[in-house]
Chains A and B, each alone.
Chain A
Amino acid sequence: MLKRVLRGSVSFLLVLVLAGLFSHGVFVVRGADGASVSVGEADVAVRQAFDATLDAERAGANVSGLILRLNEAGIILGEAEMALGNGNSSEAASKAGQCIGIAESVKGDADVLKASALDEAQTVFWTSLTFSVVSIAAFAVVLVLVWRRFKRGYNRKVLGMKPEVASDAED
């Protein structure tokens, strides 16, 4: 009876140990996979933030502040990738999360900056176009008036001229 109980207990413990070992392996693999996915997501988030920053820059926004924050995100992403390479999954995942936070905030700010830069550019364009059109019209009117006056004076001058006979003309 005692033998049976002992055998049963040993088998149970063996099963527990094996299950523990197996589940540890699963958790470690899942942890590494999770960290790898997080680092991948952080990489994508930084790229998207950079794309948005570039769009804002093309729209005419000042992106110096965004570039500073992107550099911060880049440093953290580099650290996350190196932590992942060294097998430090928890640090990699934590750094990736930090990086995603910064990248998303940069992307949001870049979108706002782009919209305001586009608005500003549109206002500048219409102001400039109005100034150009009005100036050209005024200039054309002035030029036409000056031309008419000049033409009148020119004609008067031509009509007032007397024909002259050259002194060495033949008789």
Chain B
Amino acid sequence: MLKIEDYKAVFASVGLIGVLLFASSTLGLVLRLPGGEKFSELWVLGPGHMAEDYPFNVGADVNYLVYVGVGNHMGCSAYYVVYVKFRNQTESLPNATVGTPSPLPPLFEYRLFVEDGKSWEAPLRFSFSNVSFSENRSFVGSLMINGLTFNVDKSASWDVENNGYYYQLFMELWIYNVEFQAFEYHNRFVGLWLNMTGV
């Protein structure tokens, strides 16, 4: 037979569990448990909203369509800017190790607000004009993005290894830091390699 002290301990345990159960609804309002990992996603999809049929061999005066998307897992709503930039093979990309953006000026920008756990997607329509080729070099004069024309004046030399004149259209993700009241590079970028094939 158990001693009275043992029964006392059982009653005390039951009492403690009961107190915690009845207090849990209020404790849930006061205590904030740490959430999971905070991060954002940036993606680019082909014209069918799938990771396929990306434009690769491109020419002048042809319209191309891809979709740019952003996913928010930051634990609260976020204010993002996606900068669209254009470069040739010699110009620098963002540095993922140091977390610095590309020094190239943005051509186009998307400003977007996304709730936590939700995503955003928008079309990116682009075409090239004033394209020319001479002595193993190609030149791109203008790039039209979503109906706006930008003078880019870029040139690319013939890539012997990959057989083409390569350019890259890439997107950088920036996030608004509420504490510093400023946008900062969010260390996310995606790009499309484009081989300029004809005028």
Contacts and interface: CB of A to CB of B under 8 A. Distances in A.
A78 interface: yes
Given A67-B114, A78-B109, A150-B7, A53 B22 contact: no
Given A57-B76, A125-B29, A136 B113 contact: no
B23 to A, nearest CB: 5
Nearest to A82: B148
A128 B14 CA distance: 22
Given A54-B76, A143-B14, A70 B113 contact: yes
Give the dominant DSSP class at B's interface. Answer: mixed
Contacts of B29: 121, 124-125, 128
B77 interface: yes
A27 interface: no
Nearest to A81: B109
Contact of A57 (B23, B77, B120, B181): B77
A132 B77 contact: no
Given A139-B19, A140-B15, A129 B113 contact: no
Q: How large is the interface on A (under 10, 10 to 19, 20 to 34, 35 or more residues)?
A: 35 or more
Interface string B12-25: 00110011001101
B115 interface: yes
Given A81-B109, A128-B29, A140-B15, A63 B115 contact: yes
A77 B80 CA distance: 13
Contact of B19 (A47, A136, A151): A136
B64 to A, nearest CB: 20
13 contacts: A53-B77, A57-B77, A74-B79, A74-B113, A78-B110, A82-B109, A86-B148, A125-B26, A125-B29, A128-B25, A128-B26, A129-B26, A154-B4
The 7 A-B pairs at the shortest CB distance, nearest first, are namely A74-B111, A135-B22, A70-B113, A132-B26, A128-B26, A78-B111, A139-B18
Interface of A: 46-47, 50-51, 53-54, 57-58, 63-64, 67, 70-71, 74-75, 77-78, 81-82, 86, 121, 124-125, 128-129, 131-132, 135-136, 139-140, 143, 146-147, 150-151, 154
Interface of B: 4, 7-8, 11, 14-15, 18-19, 22-23, 25-26, 29, 76-77, 79, 108-115, 120, 148, 176, 178, 181
Given A63-B77, A147-B11, A150-B11, 15 more contacts: A50-B77, A53-B77, A67-B113, A74-B79, A78-B111, A86-B148, A128-B25, A132-B22, A132-B23, A136-B23, A139-B15, A139-B22, A140-B19, A146-B11, A147-B8
